[in-house]
Chains A and B, each alone.
Chain A
Amino acid sequence: MKYSYYPGCTLKNKAQDLDRYARASALKLGFELEEIPDWQCCGGVYPLGSDEIASKLASVRALNYAKEQGQDLITLCSACHHVLKRVNDDMKNVQDISDRANNYMKLDEPYRGETKVLHFLEVIRDVIGFDELKKMVVNPLTGKKIGAYYGCLTLRPGKILEFDNPENPKIMEDFIRAIGAEPVIYANRNECCGGYISLKEGEMAQDRTKKIFDNCTDMGAEMLITACPLCRYNLNKSEADSKIPVYYFTELLAEALGVKEDC
């Protein structure tokens, strides 16, 4: 099984492990990530303005490439996942944006949101299945109490992303169970880490991350996993007393599958 893969800017630099572990794990799980050639940055945030077109075109190019390959498109980074899914929804359901973007793109055949955008976790859940994953685990992380940190971009708006229940998600918890560890459910797992605010308002980000750490450690978590480089950065920058280590979920996946050393 081959997928078009959209790594995004950060996975090429500061979050190389997120990418590396994912590729190795994917091979082990039986699918291949084919990086989209000449992909362009999604912009990191979805342009909310209903009249913004130019800032959506990079995503449309990637989506259209996947369509031409006849492949589903996979992302790993929460932000890319968010932007690509929402732009795809615009192309499919918002006539005005779709028409104008197509006018710019001048494609042989207009792009109308045909590509299916999947987060890496969705592939594990919907294509491979957590039960299958469980069978493939060679180093189960038995006894580890892990909190899943979703943040905002993977879940909201729930109606468009259709990733999981935006107020009570379970995909990462199921993932944690599948790799043999024990998920710690805590309410603030979908509260914002501060996002880009940390660039200029460090204290605000400190306050946000403290709330998250306080809540997850209170409920017994020993470590957190995330899918987002920005969330991980903000969490790592936290000075909260309750701070615990934060990993990309792919790192734990690679470890559980026994491919971490190959990376």
Chain B
Amino acid sequence: MSRDAEMIREISGCDPYRCMKCGKCSASCPSFNEMDIKPHQFVSYVLRDDIESLVNSKSLWKCLSCFACVERCPRDVKPGKLIDAARQIVERQQGGDYLKADEIPELLDPDMPQQLLVSAFRRYRR
């Protein structure tokens, strides 16, 4: 297993081998349609060691961290945590922040709660 795959397992604390490919995560995911790699496929990418595709996937930035997949996964695999780990690899190693500071002013709107910015920063940037 590659270092990245190892790291994903370590950061997430998830064991992809427990997955039985039932699709419960993809059935629950509110962002399914916007994702290129679907939640139930995350596991296969980690097991196949194809972290490259995973970190370049749009899905990383479409996950809402709503934990529906985590709550409902019958095998305790927690795909949501896997995708978050992949996101962190991107942010930590490759500086591939999804949100640049200079983008912000134009995204702002006067009603926007601080919480949104804080959360987005946490999720999108190192």
Contacts and interface: CB of A to CB of B under 8 A. Distances in A.
Interface of A: 8-10, 12-15, 41, 43-45, 47-51, 55, 77, 79, 152, 155-158, 166-167, 191-192, 194-201, 204, 208, 211, 229-230, 232-233, 236-237
Nearest to B9: A50
A204 B34 contact: yes
Find the residue from B13, B30, B62, B68 having the highest chain A CB count within 10 A.
B30
B10 interface: yes
Contact of A204 (B13, B62, B88): B62
Interface stretch (B17-25, B36-44, B46-54, B108-116): B108-116
Given A48-B11, A152-B64, 12 more contacts: A43-B118, A49-B84, A55-B122, A77-B115, A194-B64, A195-B64, A199-B107, A199-B112, A199-B120, A200-B99, A200-B124, A201-B34
A10 B34 contact: no
A201 B120 CA distance: 11
29 contacts: A8-B115, A14-B111, A14-B113, A15-B113, A41-B118, A45-B122, A47-B122, A48-B80, A49-B12, A49-B84, A79-B115, A152-B68, A157-B67, A166-B71, A167-B71, A191-B66, A192-B66, A195-B64, A196-B64, A196-B124, A198-B116, A199-B117, A199-B120, A200-B61, A201-B61, A201-B62, A211-B30, A232-B113, A236-B111
B2 interface: no
A207 to B, nearest CB: 8
A167 B118 CA distance: 27
B68 A230 contact: no
B116 A192 contact: no
A261 B112 CA distance: 26
A157 B116 contact: no
The dominant DSSP class at the A interface is loop
Contact of A157 (B10, B64, B70): B70
Contact of A230 (B10, B85, B119, B123): B119
Contacts of B11: 48-51
B122 A13 contact: no
Given A9-B115, A230-B113, A196 B71 contact: no
